[in-house]
Amino acid sequence: MKSGDGLGLPRMSAVATRHDVVVVGGGIAGLVAAGRAAELGLSVVVLEQGEGERYLCNTRYTGGTFHVGYTDVAKPAAELLGVIDKATAGFSRPDVARAIASDAHRLVLWLQGQGVRFLNLGKYHTYVLAPPSRTGPGLDWEGRGGDVMMQGLEANLVKRGGSVVRGTRATGLDVSGAPVVRVHATQRGAPVAFDADAVVLADGGFPADPSLIREHISPVPEKLQQRNARTSRGDALRMAQAVGGATVGMDCFYGHLLSRDAMTNDALWPRPYVDALAVAGIAVGPDGRRFADEGEGGVPLANAVARQPDPLSATLVFDHTVWMDAGTSPLIPANPHLPKAGGTFHEAGSIAELAKLIGVPVDALERTVADYNAAVDAKATAGLTPPRRADKYAPAPIRKAPFYGIPVCAGITNTMGGIAVDGDGAVLDAHDRPIPGVFAAGAATGGLEGGPAIGYVGGLVKAVLGLRAAERIAAVRDERSGAAHTLPTSIPTRSYPMVHALVKYGHALAILAALACLAFGIAFAVRDGAIAYAAASLAVGVLLYVLLKSYTELVSIIADMMLPK
């Protein structure tokens, strides 16, 4: 791999270099689109603004779980479609939802075919990029799943003749020369251009663009914590809009509630997040009153915090029972990581004392907690103002001292809305018509997530649109040239037959080996008339059985976690 040293870079010239496909952005969505296009015989270049060998992006930071609305991607498409529909309360575009539901599993299988390794960590974490992040607060990405996957995908792309051109920020599109699309970019300050039959926009959305965030998500963007690589600044969105592309669902983001100290303390983001405490207790504003339905979950609550006039004014309030229960439950739990990593953690013997510590009016907080407790006891939290649903997350009373308060902020991971696309990632205009040659994929796209329910479906699975965009671009090429439409996968999945055989027959092998040992011992004992042979062979046989059986179990555990399904 070249790291922006000029090798492999297109020559700077007034004349545009020509490719079949230009991809803007080298995260998972861009690399999947590029890799699939190259696999299908297209010439591809990825324009990446990052300079370094391991340029930062959100994929580099990812937790690495491929899921569809917290559901295993290998579930039947119909079930996944139902999950998307429920999570977003029907907001998703049907064709995009169908594409994700039907191809999420194909995406991980394709990645496995590219040599990407996964772990099965149970529940919906059945495909987690390997190796996973170490458990602990703060960032941990180097040599972890997203980083390793990206290196592998780039190496495969290069093998197929493609390249990732670093230090190149795409700035504009020109579709006036259709069917050729021209991508304008700056390369270390100088203008360059790339011509192609198609462009795939995959810049990761607009979480790090203050003006777009102010326009759509929060009145005070500087008071949100960027829970991401700060590399996605809405360039693709603006490029698409400039050629007539529509946008959809711009007002929501995927993110979590973090300790407010995460704004200045890097050990407190991206984890631990404190959603589990919020949905068990309450969140209050500077007036000591609740301002949102905590029962909707951490992602909608983070959005509600971001929408406050002052997003740095919310505090979670809960009691000792919640701290010892919900506080310890999720991955990298707040208890004990948050106080250990330096997150402010107020503790008081009474609600009045807590109110003083967190700086809200005493009588208001006492009233809020009393009303809340009464509603929890009466199972009538829907009658609170604002209402509190109890069917997703059970509300817990705030009764057992000590009482706690955690000042929070909204951590924005990625934007849910973005460029309007169809199920193949084709960018759509305001009349739902595809703009020829212009595609988008990944977190740059909208239409899958968000809506009034602020429904979250998943970040990594949106790379499905990159896969499908590449296939549609190849199909158009094939139609034009009259060639047969083939979808080869030229890097075969490794099969590990011996490991599979050991998992399947290991136990039988252990029994056989032990019995064989015993049989030898008995045969010798009969021949020489020495019972000691039989006794010794029994002992060795048992030992052999125990050793082989434990070895088989160990291999089974590893195979369960790591082998392609």
Ligand X SMILES: Cc1cc2nc3c(=O)[nH]c(=O)nc-3n(C[C@H](O)[C@H](O)[C@H](O)COP(=O)(O)OP(=O)(O)OC[C@H]3O[C@@H](n4cnc5c(N)ncnc54)[C@H](O)[C@@H]3O)c2cc1C
Among 16, 22, 28, 365, binds ligand X (CB under 6 A): 28
Q: Two tokens at 148? A: 């390793």
59 makes contact with ligand X (CB under 6 A): yes
Residue 400 has phi, psi (to 5 degrees) of: -95, 110
Q: Can you list the positions of beta strands (E) in 325-462?
A: 346-348, 403-415, 418-420, 426-428, 434-440, 445-446
Burial of 385 (0-12, 13-18, 19+ CB in 10 A): exposed
Cβ-based nearer residue to ligand X, 57 or 355: 57
Residue with smaller CB distance to ligand X, 194 or 545:
194
Q: Is 71 in the site for ligand X (CB under 6 A)?
A: no
Task: Report which of 17, 18, 27, 26 is spatially closest to residue 46, judged by C-alpha positions.
Answer: 26
Question: Should residue 63 be labelled a site residue for ligand X when binding is judged by CB under 6 A?
Answer: yes
Backbone angles phi, psi at 348, to 5 degrees: -145, 155
Q: For residues 167 and 286, which CB has a smaller minimum distance to ligand X in the complex?
A: 167
Interface size with ligand X, residues (CB under 6 A): 39
Q: Which is nearer to ligand X, 311 or 442 (CB)?
A: 442
* Residue with smaller CB distance to ligand X, 165 or 358: 165
Parallel, antiparallel or unpaired: strands 225-226 and 190-201 = unpaired
365 binds ligand X (CB under 6 A): no
What b/e string do you get for 424-446 counting C-beta neighbours within 10 Å, with b at 16 or more?
Answer: bbbbbeeeeebbebbbbbbbbbb
- Pick from 4, 50, 255, 333: which binds ligand X (CB under 6 A)? 50
| 443 in contact with ligand X (CB under 6 A) | yes
Comparing CA positions, the residue from 23, 25, 56 lying closest to residue 38 is 23
Of the pair 6, 219, the CB lying nearest ligand X is at 6
Pairing of strands 418-420, 282-284: unpaired
Q: How far apart are alpha carbons 435 and 491 in whole angstroms?
A: 32
**CB nearer to ligand X: pick between 128 and 396:** 128
Residue 415 lies near ligand X (rule: CB under 6 A): no
- Contact flag: residue 315 with ligand X (CB under 6 A): no
Residue selected from 21, 34, 45, 47 as contacting ligand X according to rule CB under 6 A: 47
Whether the CB-CB separation of 97 and 85 falls below 8 Å is answered with yes
464 near ligand X, rule: CB under 6 A:
no
Residue, CB closest to ligand X:
27
65 near ligand X, judged by CB under 6 A: yes
Task: Provide the minimum distance between the beta carbon of 269 and ligand X in the complex, in angstroms, as a whole number.
Answer: 8
Report the residue from 30, 272, 286, 405 that binds ligand X according to the rule CB under 6 A. Answer: 30
| Residues between 232 and 271 that touch ligand X (CB under 6 A) | 232, 235, 270
Smallest gap from Cβ 78 to ligand X, in A, equals: 21
Answer yes or no: are the C-beta atoms of 200 and 194 closer than 8 Å: no
Instruction: Please identify, using beta-carbon distances, which residue of 68 and 358 lies nearer to ligand X.
Output: 68
Residue list 148-207, contact with ligand X (CB under 6 A): 169-170, 202-204
Contact 48, 168 (CB under 8 A): yes
User: Minimum distance from CB of 242 to ligand X (Å)?
Assistant: 13
Q: Which residues are CB-neighbours of 331 under 8 A, at least 6 positions away?
A: 135, 271
61 in contact with ligand X (CB under 6 A): yes
Choose, by CB under 6 A, the member of 16, 24, 277, 465 that binds ligand X: 24
Express the helix, strand and coil content of the chain in percent, nearest 5 each.
40, 20, 40
Binding span for ligand X by CB under 6 A among 14-22, 192-200, 227-235, 369-377: 227-235
CB of 410 to ligand X, least distance (A): 14
CB of 247 or CB of 414, closer to ligand X = 414
Query: Residue 404 CB, nearest distance to ligand X (Å)?
Result: 25
Stretch that binds ligand X, among 74-82, 355-363, 436-444, 495-503 (CB under 6 A): 436-444
Instruction: Please give the Cα distance from 207 to 27 (Å, whole number).
Output: 15
> CA 111 to CA 118: how far, in whole Å?
9
- Residue 454 per-residue DSSP state: T
Which one, 117 or 227, has the nearer CB to ligand X? 227
Which is closer to ligand X, CB of 270 or CB of 311? 270
- For 221-238, the DSSP string reads GGGSEE-S-S---SHHHH
Nearer to ligand X, 303 or 552 (CB): 303
Site string for ligand X, 512-551 (x = CB under 6 A): ----------------------------------------
Q: Are 102 and 305 in contact (CB under 8 A)?
A: no
Could you say whether residue 69 binds ligand X (CB under 6 A)? no
Residues belonging to the chain: 565
What would the DSSP string read from start to end of 289-310?
A: SB-S-GGG-HHHHHHHHHHSSS
Tell me the pairing of strands 434-440 and 190-201. parallel
| Residues at the contact surface with ligand X, assessed by CB under 6 A | 24-30, 47-50, 55, 57-59, 61-65, 169-170, 202-204, 227-228, 231-232, 235, 270, 413-414, 442-444, 458-460
